[in-house]
Amino acid sequence: MTMQLAGKKIIVTGAAQGMGASTVRAYAAEGAEVAAVDVKDDLGRRVAEEATLQGPGKVTYHHANVTDRAEVDAAFSAAVVDLGGLDVLVNIAGVQRARPAAEFTDEDLDFVLGINLRGTILTNQAAYRTMREAGSGVVLNFGSDAGLTAMPGLGAYAASKGGVMAWTRTIAGEWGPEGIRANSVVPAVQTPMTANGAQERGDIYSSIPLGGRLGDPERDFAPVMVFLASDGARFITGQIISVNGGLGMVR
- H or E element in which residue 156 lies: helix 155-175
203 alpha-carbon distance from chain centroid: 25
What's the rounded Cα separation, in Å, for the pair 44 and 6?
22
- H or E element in which residue 230 lies: none
What's the rounded Cα separation, in Å, for the pair 4 and 90?
16
Helix (H, G, I), strand (E, B) or coil at 134: helix
> Catalytic one among 27, 61, 157, 205?
157
Number of H helices, E strands in the chain: 8, 7
Residue partners of 147: CB distance under 8 A and separation at least 6 = 158, 159, 160, 161, 162, 163, 164, 165
In the annotation, is 128 catalytic? no
**Amino acid (one-letter) located at 91:** N
Per-residue DSSP letter, 74: H
The span from the first CA to the last CA of the chain, in angstroms, equals 35
What's the rounded Cα separation, in Å, for the pair 75 and 70?
9
Q: 29, 177, 19, 7: which is closest to 90 by C-alpha?
A: 19
Catalytic positions: 157
